A and B are shown apart, each in its own frame.
Chain A
Amino acid sequence: MDGKVIVITSGKGGVGKTTATASIGAALAKDGKKVVVVDMDIGLRNLDVVMGLENRVVFNIVDVVRGKCRVSQAAIKDRKIDNLFLIPASQSDNKNSVTPEEMVLVCKDLKNEFDFILMDCPAGIEQGFENAVAGADEAVVICTPEVSSIRDADRIIGLLYAKKITPKLIVNRIIPAMVEKGDMLSHEDVVDVLSIELIGLVEMDDQVIVATNTGSSLVMNKESKAGMAFTRIAMRLNGQPGLPIEIPRTQVGLFKKLGRRIGISR
C-alpha cells in the first residue's frame, strides 16, 4: 500500500480541526478506504472522545514512536465504521516527547498499512505543529470567517509553503444569514485574503455539538449539513477534485432568488 499523509491544521485553536479530522476520516473510510486518524495534540488528547473511543485507548502515538508497541496495536478500530482507525495522543507526555524526524519514520510505516493518514495538528506553530507536518504529503488549512482565525491561517499557510506544501482551504462555521447581511466575511473574501485553493465550505451546524456529545460520527447523520459538507471534502481528497463546492445559503423566497439572478443580492 502507498498511502497519503494529510495534515489538518489551522494555527488558531477551536476552529474545528478535530471535528474535521474525525469527519473527513470517517467519510473516506465509508468510501472503502483504509484510514487512520492520528491525534498529534500530545498532552491534550481529544480526538478519542470526539470519536467515542476514549475507553478503548491502550497505546498511543508516543508509544509507537518509541517502539513500545506496533502500529497495529496502537490503532483503535472505530465502533461503527469499518476501515477507520485512531491512533490517540499521549496524555502524560508533551509536544517535545517526539521529534519531526521520528514522525517522518512513523509516517512511512503508516503509509504501508493505510490509504489515508490524517494528522490532527495541535494549535500553534511550535514543536507540535512541526511534528504533525513533518511527514505530510498534503495539508488542509481550516479557518472560520473571523479575522483572528484568518490571520493565523495566513501565518500557517506561509509556514507550509516554506516546507514545499501547497495547502488547500476549508472555511468552517459559515452563517449564511450573517454573510448575506454583510456581517460575516464571505468565503470569497476569505479566499481573496488568503489566496489559496478552496476545498470545501462548511456551514455552522448544531449537529456538530450533538455528535460530539455522543461521540458519534457527523457524517453518519444525513440531516447534518456540516456532515455532508465534510463528506464532499473527503470525496475531493479521494480522487474527485473537480466536485463542485456548494455554497451555504439561507432558504429563500422568490424575490431573493430573483435578486441573486440579477446580481443585487448575495
Chain B
Amino acid sequence: MLNELLKKWRGTKTTSSQAAKKRLKFAIVYDNLEVSDDILDALKGDIIEVISRYFEIDTKSISLDIDRSEESSSLVLNTPILSAIRR
C-alpha cells in the first residue's frame, strides 16, 4: 500500500497494463476501419452508378481509397468529369 501511495504522489510512470490498454484500444479502432477490397470495389461500382446519373465521367480513371492518418480516416474519391448531363 505504501508503495502505491508513493507512486500516486510522485505522479508515476505508466504501468505495463496501462500501456496494454492504450495499444489495444488503438488496435481495435484500426481493425474496425479495415475494409476488404471486395467491399471497396462494390462501393466504387455503386458510386459510379450514382454519379453517372448527373455527370459523364471517365469510369476508368476513377479512384476510391481510404486515407488513414493517426487521428482520422477518410474516404477519398477522385474522378475527372467529362461533362454534366443536361436534362
Q: Which residues in window 2-49 of B have CB below 8 A to A?
A: 2, 4-5, 8, 15-18, 20-21, 23-25, 27-28, 31-32
Q: 0/1 per residue, A177-199, Cβ < 8 Å to B?
A: 00101111110010011000000
Q: How far is the CA of A181 from the CA of B14 in the complex (A)?
A: 11
Cβ of A147 within 8 Å of any chain B Cβ, yes or no, is yes
| Contact call A189/B1, Cβ cutoff below 8 A | no
Given contacts A147-B27, A154-B28, contact A265 B4 (CB under 8 A): yes
| Contact call A150/B1, Cβ cutoff below 8 A | no
In the complex, the chain B residue whose C-beta lies closest to that of A254 is: B1
Q: How far is the CA of A256 from the CA of B25 in the complex (A)?
A: 30
Residues of A within 8 A of B25 (CB): 193
| Contact call B31/A184, Cβ cutoff below 8 A | no
In the complex, the chain A residue whose C-beta lies closest to that of B8 is: A264
Q: How far is the CA of A147 from the CA of B17 in the complex (A)?
A: 10
Place the interface of chain A in its size category.
Answer: 20 to 34
Contact of A183 among B1, B2, B4, B16 (CB under 8 A): B16
| Contact call A181/B24, Cβ cutoff below 8 A | no
Given contacts A179-B17, A183-B15, contact A147 B5 (CB under 8 A): no
Q: How far is the CA of A259 from the CA of B5 in the complex (A)?
A: 9
B63 CB to nearest chain A CB (Å): 28
| Contact call A264/B31, Cβ cutoff below 8 A | no
Residues of A within 8 A of B18 (CB): 182
Number of interface residues of B (CB under 8 A): 18
Given contacts A150-B24, A154-B31, A193-B24, contact A264 B5 (CB under 8 A): yes
Contact of A265 among B1, B21, B23, B24 (CB under 8 A): B1
| Contact call B17/A264, Cβ cutoff below 8 A | no
| Contact call A184/B17, Cβ cutoff below 8 A | yes
Cβ of A258 within 8 Å of any chain B Cβ, yes or no, is yes
Q: How far is the CA of A258 from the CA of B15 in the complex (A)?
A: 23
| Contact call A155/B16, Cβ cutoff below 8 A | no
Residues of B within 8 A of A151 (CB): 24, 27-28, 31
| Contact call A186/B17, Cβ cutoff below 8 A | yes
| Contact call A147/B1, Cβ cutoff below 8 A | no
Q: 0/1 per residue, B37-71, Cβ < 8 Å to A?
A: 00000000000000000000000000000000000
B23 CB to nearest chain A CB (Å): 6
Q: 0/1 per residue, A124-166, Cβ < 8 Å to B?
A: 0000000000000000000000110011001100100000000
| Contact call B27/A259, Cβ cutoff below 8 A | no
Q: How far is the CA of A176 from the CA of B32 in the complex (A)?
A: 31
Q: How far is the CA of A184 from the CA of B16 in the complex (A)?
A: 7
Residues of chain A having any CB pair with chain B under 8 Å = 146-147, 150-151, 154-155, 158, 179, 181-186, 189, 192-193, 255-256, 258-259, 264-266
Shortest beta-carbon contacts, A-B, top 4: A182-B15, A259-B1, A255-B1, A189-B21
Residues of chain B having any CB pair with chain A under 8 Å = 1-2, 4-5, 8, 15-18, 20-21, 23-25, 27-28, 31-32
8 contacts across the A-B interface (CB closer than 8 A): A146-B20, A155-B31, A185-B17, A185-B20, A189-B17, A189-B21, A193-B25, A259-B5
